[in-house]
Amino acid sequence: MKLTLACLLVLALVAGAACTQVTEAPPETDLSPTTPPPATTTPAQAEETTPPATITEEDIEAARQVVFAYWEAFNSYDVDGVLAFLEESWREDRADDIAGEIGQMEMFGVTLEVEEEAEPAITDETVGIKMLVKTPLGAKHYIYYLKEIDGEWKIYFAEEVEE
């Protein structure tokens, strides 16, 4: 019984850690309670690039599919697959944690159920998708922030939010 409770506790910790790693609080936004940090560009990059195009319905659907594919890879215990959906700098920050979390999930044979909770929040260049992640110990709410990088939508920030 104690082993089962310990396993469930580990799974809850894995689910929470799998989704977020906040190193600094992002600025306030329309999504409750916070928004992703702004995309960073150098002055030279800003001069070379054209203003971002308005996000289309196709973009929103593509971003949504990235989040679901991210969790499909997580539930398949595919570390490389999960990391492929993350923006490069966030991938580097999260790689070791994700590998450990997936290892724990695989050890206990756990998969997590996810569902979209609200309509996506859109800015000029980002899409925020609010998800419900169900674990063996309960449910948590997360917002995944995505932006298009070289023609592909990537998760560049995620955070747990209170419901």
Domain ranges of the chain: 2-161
Specify the pLDDT at position 22: 41
Residue with tokens 């030279």: 44
pLDDT averaged over consecutive 10-residue blocks of the chain (163 residues)? Answer: 44 47 41 50 44 81 98 98 97 96 95 96 94 94 97 96 89
* CA–CA separation, 133 and 140 (whole Å): 5
pTM: 0.72
Name which CATH class applies to 2-161: alpha beta
Contacts of 105 (CB under 8 A, 6+ apart): 11, 14, 74, 75, 77, 111, 112
**What are the percentages of helix, strand and coil residues in the chain, rounded to 5?**
45, 25, 35
